[in-house]
């Protein structure tokens, strides 16, 4: 038996937070520019929660960095979705844009505002599919 100091505590999966932003009955979808295996796929803006941040702080930071907007983070959308490698989960929140901000694609290859009948018009990252399934109710 290894002594106690060598027994590794199971590490909890890393959390990736992402934002559902709805305006005028459309949701904002963003096209990744990297890494190569994800480039061209579509996602919700967001990123990794860093050490010492709450989910909400991380998502507000990512929205500033990626879209140049201030947001208030609201309710969860959908379940935690495990990412394929099992070391992270995707956690999505509805967010409200503050101060009349207009999202810009500062880090993404492209951005689109999708109406409910356009949700299947882009190739989403696989983990986003169960989140996209929740959107018709929110866009109604
Ligand atoms: N932002 C975002 N990431 C997603 C989504 N769906 C999904 O599978 N992912 C994956 C892709 C990446 O493997 C990971 C997020 O990484 P990221 O590169 O956006 O994170 P980050 O902004 O913190 O990047 P970095 O500082 O490490 O460069 O989560 C989604 O809807 N939004």
**Domains and their CATH numbers in the chain:** 13-139 (3.90.79.10)
Ligand 1 atom nearest to 83, measured from its CA:
8
Asked whether 125 lines ligand 1 (CB < 6 A), one says yes
Estimate the share of the chain in helix, then strand, then coil, as percent rounded to the nearest 5: 25, 35, 40
Please state the ipTM of this predicted complex.
0.95
The CA 99 to ligand 1 mean position distance, Å, reads 26
Tell me what pLDDT residue 10 has: 62
Q: Would you state the pLDDT for residue 7?
A: 64
Is 56 exposed, middle or buried (CB count within 10 Å of its CB: 0-12, 13-18, 19+)?
middle
| Spatial distance between the Cα atoms of 19 and 34, rounded to a whole number of angstroms | 18
Question: Is the pLDDT score of 104 beyond 70?
Answer: yes
83 in ligand 1 pocket by Cβ < 6 Å? yes
- Of 8, 1, 7, 13, residue with least CA distance to 87: 13
Burial label for 7, CB within 10 Å (0-12, 13-18, 19+), is exposed
CA of 36 to the centre of ligand 1 (A): 13
Retrieve residue 37's tokens.
Answer: 């295996």
Q: Is the CB of 66 under 6 A from ligand 1?
A: no
Q: How much is the pLDDT for 84?
A: 80
Q: Which atom of ligand 1 is nearest to the CA of 35?
A: 18
pLDDT of 4 reads 54
- pLDDT value at residue 6: 60
Residue 71: beta bridge partners? 97
Q: Can you give the pLDDT at residue 13?
A: 85
Q: How far is the CA of 35 from the centre of ligand 1 (A)?
A: 10
Q: Is 89 near ligand 1, meaning CB less than 6 Å away?
A: no
Q: Which residue has the higher pLDDT, 5 or 110?
A: 110
Contact residues for 100 (Cβ-Cβ < 8 A; gap 6+):
none
Averaged pLDDT for residues 115-136 = 98
Does pLDDT of 3 surpass 60? no
């Amino acid at each position: 038996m290894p002594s106690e100091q060598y027994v590794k505590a199971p590490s909890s999966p890393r959390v990736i937070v992402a934002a559902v932003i709805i305006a005028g009955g459309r949701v904002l979808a963003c096209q990744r520019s990297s890494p190569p295996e994800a480039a061209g796929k579509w996602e919700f803006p967001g990123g990794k929660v860093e050490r010492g941040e709450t989910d909400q702080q991380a998502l507000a930071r990512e929205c500033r960095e990626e879209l140049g907007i201030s947001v208030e983070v609201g309710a969860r959308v959908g379940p935690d979705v495990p990412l394929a490698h099992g070391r992270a989960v995707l956690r999505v929140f509805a967010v409200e844009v503050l101060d009349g901000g207009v999202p810009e694609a500062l880090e993404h290859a492209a951005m689109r505002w999708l109406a409910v009948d356009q949700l299947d018009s882009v190739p989403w990252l696989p983990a986003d599919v169960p989140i996209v399934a929740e959107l018709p109710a929110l866009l109604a």
